[in-house]
Amino acid sequence: VPTADAAWRFAQNAALSTLPEDEVGRITPRPRAAHFTGGQYRLGRDAAVVHGAGLDNEVRFLRALLADLPPGEGVVTLAIGPVTEAGDEAYSLDIDAQHVALTGASAHGVFNGLQSLAQLVSPNGVLPLGAVQDAPRYAYRGMMLDVARHFSSVDTVLRLLDCMAAYKLNRFHFHLTDDEGWRLEIDALPELTTIGAQRGVAYPGRSCLPPSFGSGAAVDASSGSGFYTADEFVTILRHAKARHIDVIPEFNLPGHARAAVEAMRVRHARLVAAGDLAGADEYLLSDPADTSAYESVQLWHDNVMCIALPSVDRFIDTVVTAVAALYREAEVPLTVLHTGGDEVPGGAWVGSPVCQASMRAHGWTDVRELRDDFQGRCRAILARHGIAFAGWEETALTPRADGVLAPDRRQAGRDFHVYVWNNGGLPHERDCATELAAAGFDVVLANATSLYFDFAHAKHPLEPGYYWAGFVGTRDAFDLAPSAGITGLQGQLWGENVCSRARLEYLAMPRLLGLAERAWSPQDTNPDWNEFANRLGRRELPRLDRHGWHYRLPPPGAR
Ligand code: TNX
């Protein structure tokens, strides 16, 4: 962990000169309006907390904040009530010589205000007199963590949630399954974790990706196994709920599904050996007679579900039922479930007798029709559970008559959430996110070129991370000019390079702060990188130091 002194280098490298103190903001992400009048108010650990109903959770967070201050008095008032800015996440914070008054449009608004208060108060309890009126730019401000390629422990996930909350991020996209692992215990299908979560067992001798793919750090084939028990998952959901973070679980299918396919193949073989032929077929995800030859982006040849099998629908329904029960146990609504849908390799299904028979029966000539039907069935399963469908951009795009990709208007609706990763993904430099939003989809911009935090920060032989779409510096996230009409932004921590907590934090930071600024703060035509870099260097990186967070500093003289 670099020292606070070293953190200055960030500002100095970025700005070449540092700004005068009064030109540097105090709160990250920058609030809509903040005015400080000069003068101070001192808060101590014994301050009185006065609060209205419905704020027990927020009072607990305030007490924890006060507990870190030296002994002393003070008054803090928390209330839900009318505030200047619009929206339920808005808050007003007033600090005068008598007290601190924090009002939120909702408990979430109050919680947001507490994050600002935590940034304003110095370790010895001093607050500047003044007022803040604030509300977010986007409703969706997210981080995605992939725990499939490398498993992240419960503690690591809880720490990431803490950090997200501190910077007012409110959505956690939890990438729980992929080719390399299935990370959530499902009672009805124990093989998913007994087989699918054990990389060393399921994939003998195979590292998570071939070494030739990207610059990534060497990946240890034996590391990265693990899964969350049902209880651990509920703990994560509750932790997120207390921080007003919605958790969007992702189960990636029909491609990127090797762990599940493999686990269900083993289950099938065991039941066949035990003489239970009907039971064996119940959850089979692959067609044993499939001769399709394909290669996924990550070089798998056996990672796509056979989507014509009724057992695939049964599998999905069983998983969704189990996940919905865990959300109920945590007392949080499950409103959106992400079904992945990215990078299904061409050539899948064409050699499967089951798929071909189904296509003949329906009069389909193109596997695209089979896939559309499957996606419709997925949506229907989710709808029966009262859950909206989410997927990567591939799920919402379709070739027009001329073969050019375009939004699939037949599917468009606000209950269809599209995550755009390849914003130049349409031909002729068309903006994929804007087009999908204009077509009526609910769009989250998660583009590789600005928001893939698993990429190397910069071009340097020792810098860990991929760079298949370039390097992503903190400034790339900060400089992002988002597409029109979107619901929000999300940073991606794909897991191939997330091989430890230290690495996770290093990759996340300080890019996550650039994301938070872009997702929360009003966008100027000319975002002031110099001010932002100074703010990080002077205030936020030292704060990360105090919390023991790793982060990346540019080498001297570099960006
Ligand atoms: C692409 S873009 C992927 C992931 C990888 C990532 C690595 C997309 C939706 N899928 O499967 O982890 O690149 O950067």
Q: Is the pLDDT of residue 185 over 50?
A: yes
343 is catalytic: yes
CA angle 388, 394, 398 (to 5 degrees): 105
- Tell me what pLDDT residue 32 has: 97
Distance CA 210, CA 149 (A): 13
Comparing 205-219, 352-366, 485-499, the range with the smallest average pLDDT is: 205-219
Ligand 1 atom index nearest CA of 469: 14
Ligand 1 atom index nearest CA of 394: 9
Annotated domain spans of the chain: 1-16+522-559, 33-134, 140-520
Rounded mean pLDDT of 18-31? 89
CA 522–ligand 1 middle distance (angstroms): 29
- Tell me what pLDDT residue 381 has: 98
Comparing 77-91, 222-236, 374-388, the range with the smallest average pLDDT is: 222-236
Strands (E), 31-187: 33-42, 48-51, 75-80, 91-95, 100-104, 126-134, 140-146, 171-175, 177-178, 181-182
Query: Residue holding tokens 């020792």?
Result: 462
Confidence of residue 209 (pLDDT cuts 50, 70, 90): very low
SS (H, E, C) 226-273: CCECHHHHHHHHHHHHHCCCEEEEECCCCCCCHHHHHHHHHHHHHHHH
pTM of the full structure: 0.95
- Tell me what pLDDT residue 305 has: 98
Which of the listed ranges 3-12, 14-23, 200-209, 343-352 does the model predict with the highest average pLDDT?
A: 343-352
- Tokens for 488, please give them: 């929000």
CA angle 274, 277, 279 (to 5 degrees): 90
Q: Is the pLDDT of residue 206 over 60?
A: no
| Residue nearest atom 12 of ligand 1, based on CA coordinates | 494
CA 491–ligand 1 middle distance (angstroms): 12
The CATH number of 140-520 is which of 3.30.1300.10, 3.40.50.300, 3.20.20.80, 3.40.50.9100?
A: 3.20.20.80
Question: Rounded to 5 degrees, what are φ and ψ at 65?
Answer: -65, -45
CA 494–ligand 1 middle distance (angstroms): 7
CA 426–ligand 1 middle distance (angstroms): 18
CA 144–ligand 1 middle distance (angstroms): 11
Ligand 1 atom index nearest CA of 149: 12
Q: Which residues, including other chains, have CB under 8 Å from residue 144's CB and lie 6 or more apart? A: 172, 173, 174, 175, 250, 446, 490, 491, 492, 493, 494
Please name every residue paired with 34 in a beta bridge, in sequence order, or none if there are none: 132
CA 92–ligand 1 middle distance (angstroms): 40
Q: Quick: pLDDT tens for 134-157.
A: 999 999 999 999 999 989 999 999
Q: Which of 85, 282, 329, 343 is catalytic?
A: 343
Q: Above pLDDT 90, what percent of the chain?
A: 78
ipTM of predicted assembly, 2 dp: 0.98
CA 297–ligand 1 middle distance (angstroms): 9
Distance CA 435, CA 65 (A): 44
Please name every residue paired with 157 in a beta bridge, in sequence order, or none if there are none: none
**Strand, coil or helix: what is 468?**
strand
Ligand 1 atom index nearest CA of 495: 12
| Residue nearest atom 9 of ligand 1, based on CA coordinates | 342
Question: Rounded to 5 degrees, what are φ and ψ at 75?
Answer: -135, 130
Confidence of residue 559 (pLDDT cuts 50, 70, 90): low
Confidence of residue 213 (pLDDT cuts 50, 70, 90): very low
Q: Quick: pLDDT tens for 445-463.
A: 999 999 999 999 988 877 8
Q: Is the pLDDT of residue 21 over 90?
A: no
Ligand 1 atom index nearest CA of 452: 14
- Tell me what pLDDT residue 7 has: 54
- Tell me what pLDDT residue 13 has: 58
CA 391–ligand 1 middle distance (angstroms): 13
Distance CA 550, CA 233 (A): 25
Q: Which residues, including other chains, have CB under 8 Å from residue 361's CB and lie 6 or more apart? A: none
Which of 303, 342, 432 for mutating ligand 1's site (highest number of atoms within 8 Å of CB)?
Answer: 342
Look at 130 and 6; give whichever has higher pLDDT: 130
- Tell me what pLDDT residue 459 has: 85
Q: Is the pLDDT of residue 426 over 70?
A: yes
Distance CA 366, CA 524 (A): 47
Q: Quick: pLDDT tens for 306-337.
A: 999 999 999 999 999 999 999 999 999 999 99
Confidence of residue 222 (pLDDT cuts 50, 70, 90): very low
Rounded mean pLDDT of 459-485? 91
Concatenated DSSP letters of 67-78: HTSPS---EEEE
Q: Is the pLDDT of residue 341 over 80?
A: yes
- Tell me what pLDDT residue 537 has: 87
- Tell me what pLDDT residue 157 has: 97
Q: Which residues have C-beta atoms less than 6 Å from ligand 1?
A: 342-343, 392, 421, 452, 454, 466, 494, 496
Ligand 1 atom index nearest CA of 421: 2
Q: Quick: pLDDT tens for 292-303.
A: 999 998 888 999
Q: What is the CATH number of domain 33-134?
A: 3.30.379.10
Distance CA 26, CA 24 (A): 7
CA 493–ligand 1 middle distance (angstroms): 9
